[in-house]
A and B are shown apart, each in its own frame.
Chain A
Amino acid sequence: MIEAQGLTKFFGDFLAINDVNFTVHRGEIVGFLGPNGSGKTTTMRILTGYLSPTSGAAKIAGFDVQTQSLDARKHIGYLPETVPLYTEMTVEDYLAYMGRIRSMDSRRLKRRMDEVIDIVRIGDYRNTHIGKLSKGYRQRVGLAQAVLHEPEVLILDEPTIGIDPIQVVETRHLIRSLGQDHTVILSTHILPEVSAVCQRVLIIHEGEVVAEDTPTNLAERLQGTERIELEVLGPAKEVVSALRAVPGVADVRRQGDGATANHVYLVECRRGADLREQLAKTIVQHGWGLLKLGSVSMSLEEVFLQLTARGEGDK
């Protein structure tokens, strides 16, 4: 559905993105993950035809975004980072205008307007001037505009930025449900968002794709160590030394302030070893109380740090 080959873009001497390649299949939700200024927006703008790449090519629904730009654009619903809204228009007028510049006929436009207003739940604000809406509602209007013409491809640039946490959750639900009949690319610098919404993630750093996988695989693949969290009722020092003595344990850290008798310990294990059983046995043999035991997976934040740090090390 979306193909990018060797996309490179210079802004003057500044290399914004360098040889970006990826393919997104029909019905996939793919996340672009990267810090601000990593080239996510530039990549998206090239896909939508707003910018031309310095070299490389991209195809949307089989149409080249440069040579068959108009055909490609027809298949795209785009929500830029700054939600593009005419503040002096009402929600309804705005959507009608957006539909008409995409040459939707009036009957279909009418039907779709009712549908999208329903989908993003802005029914109460149909005739409100956009300038008077809150940020969250504006975001929804922006999303409504993007899906209005039933595009096959949705490109969403930071769709949850600047809206409150409850709305963030709602928006993510919305995107996931849209993913059922659209191909979606979304960019974000918020890691939990990718794991919550995306089936696949491309990590972009300094204009290059440094990793590509499913959120879970990515976390697994990069996991250098397994972590186990334990809550134990017993003398702290002895617990630490006993845990350290278990073969396969790399490190033990005590968490918390030590004010109570039970403490939380974070045990780092060597790669591939599952020490939960041994650790439990050790605690029980010493006669301490085992209150909690569970493995902690690495957060995407850590994955990301590791990946970008590695990328820099290669240079």
Chain B
Amino acid sequence: MWTIAWKELKSYFGSPMAYIIGAVFLALTGYFFVQSISGSFAEASIRGWLLPSTFVFVLWSPVITMRLFAEEQKLGTLELLLTAPLRDWEVVLGKFLASLGMLIGTLSLTVFYVMLLFWFGQPDGGPLLTGYLGLLLYGAATLAVGLLASSLTGNQIVASVVSFGALLLLTLTDQAAQATTGLSAQVLQELSLTSHFTDFARGILDTNNLMYYVTFTAFILFLTVRTLESRRWR
């Protein structure tokens, strides 16, 4: 499992992809950050850029995860991986951990913004931590979706488009929830990736939200393992 994670991480940094996508991530979040603190009543917090940043994941995660399984299928190396003495979940978890490593790496670059906040103001530490925890959980959930999409196809473009579409839908259910009322609104609200995030941005650590992201990620990863397994029966 760690071997796979390590290999995937290395191949991320071995290609220009990691750097390009890291730069794009920083450019977008940097823009949101500047916008959030340059208003007339700006506050020393990261809350302003947190929510727009989650939107960046909708673009970022499909690109990061698209090659993880799709490329293996194309190269035929999946056959090797699935006939090696490894359990299917070890393969899936290894790949997921690698993408999580990328996520942490990229997020750690944004610590620069926090340093700026401390330099010029007195931000509240609590919401900073929950904010980052929220970003991490949100990011992990989107990565899991990307991984699932990648396991379904041998084409990286298809994988990224599918996961992009799925993530966009999961994000937009929030909007849909506001347009409806009653039970459907509640269901949509609970399904939405975004609605569970807002509390983290406010500095509230709610186990309900925590559990949502953890179970969501675990469930999607479980589906990915099943997808790999189903290959044997095709």
Chain A residues at the B interface, C-beta cutoff of 8 Å: 11, 45, 48-52, 70-71, 73-74, 76, 78, 80, 82-89, 97-98, 100-103, 145
CB neighbours (8 Å) of B39 from chain A are none
CB neighbours (8 Å) of A78 from chain B are 79-80, 83
Interchain CB contact under 8 A, A102 and B232: no
Interface status of B116 (Cβ within 8 A of chain A): no
Interchain CB contact under 8 A, A102 and B233: no
Interface status of B35 (Cβ within 8 A of chain A): no
Interchain CB contact under 8 A, A70 and B76: no
Q: Give Cα A48–Cα B233 distance, bound, in whole angstroms.
A: 14
Chain B min CB distance to A168 (Å):
21
CB neighbours (8 Å) of B7 from chain A are 97
Task: Known A-B contacts: A85-B75, A102-B84. Give 17 more (CB < 8 A).
Answer: A49-B232, A50-B82, A50-B232, A52-B232, A52-B233, A70-B86, A70-B87, A74-B85, A82-B76, A84-B75, A84-B79, A85-B77, A97-B7, A98-B80, A101-B3, A102-B85, A103-B85
Interface of B is mostly: helix
Chain A min CB distance to B73 (Å):
11
Q: Give Cα A85–Cα B79 distance, bound, in whole angstroms.
A: 11
Interchain CB contact under 8 A, B82 and A84: no
Q: Give Cα A147–Cα B232 distance, bound, in whole angstroms.
A: 24
Out of B3, B4, B75, B85, which one reaches A87, CB within 8 Å?
B75
CB neighbours (8 Å) of B15 from chain A are 88
CB neighbours (8 Å) of B232 from chain A are 49-52
CB neighbours (8 Å) of B14 from chain A are 88
Centre residue among B83, B86, B233, B234 by max chain A CB count within 10 A: B83
5 closest A-B pairs by CB: A82-B76, A84-B77, A84-B80, A48-B83, A100-B3
Interface status of B11 (Cβ within 8 A of chain A): yes
Interface status of B81 (Cβ within 8 A of chain A): yes
Chain B residues at the A interface, C-beta cutoff of 8 Å: 3-4, 7, 11, 14-15, 75-87, 231-234
Out of B4, B77, B83, which one reaches A50, CB within 8 Å?
B83
Out of B79, B85, B234, which one reaches A80, CB within 8 Å?
B79
Chain B min CB distance to A202 (Å):
21
Q: Give Cα A98–Cα B86 distance, bound, in whole angstroms.
A: 12
Q: Give Cα A86–Cα B84 distance, bound, in whole angstroms.
A: 15
Closest residue of chain B to A97, judged by CB? B7
Interchain CB contact under 8 A, B75 and A70: no
Q: Give Cα A102–Cα B77 distance, bound, in whole angstroms.
A: 14
Interchain CB contact under 8 A, B234 and A86: no
Interchain CB contact under 8 A, A83 and B76: yes
Out of A73, A84, A85, A97, which one reaches B85, CB within 8 Å?
A73
Q: Give Cα A88–Cα B74 distance, bound, in whole angstroms.
A: 14
CB neighbours (8 Å) of A74 from chain B are 85
Chain A min CB distance to B196 (Å):
36
Query: A52-B233, A86-B75, A86-B77 are known contacts. Are A76 and B87 too (CB-CB below 8 A)?
Result: no
CB neighbours (8 Å) of A103 from chain B are 85
CB neighbours (8 Å) of B87 from chain A are 70
Chain B min CB distance to A14 (Å):
11
CB neighbours (8 Å) of A49 from chain B are 82-83, 232
CB neighbours (8 Å) of B78 from chain A are 84
Q: Give Cα A83–Cα B77 distance, bound, in whole angstroms.
A: 8
CB neighbours (8 Å) of B3 from chain A are 97, 100-101
Centre residue among A76, A78, A84, A103 by max chain B CB count within 10 A: A84
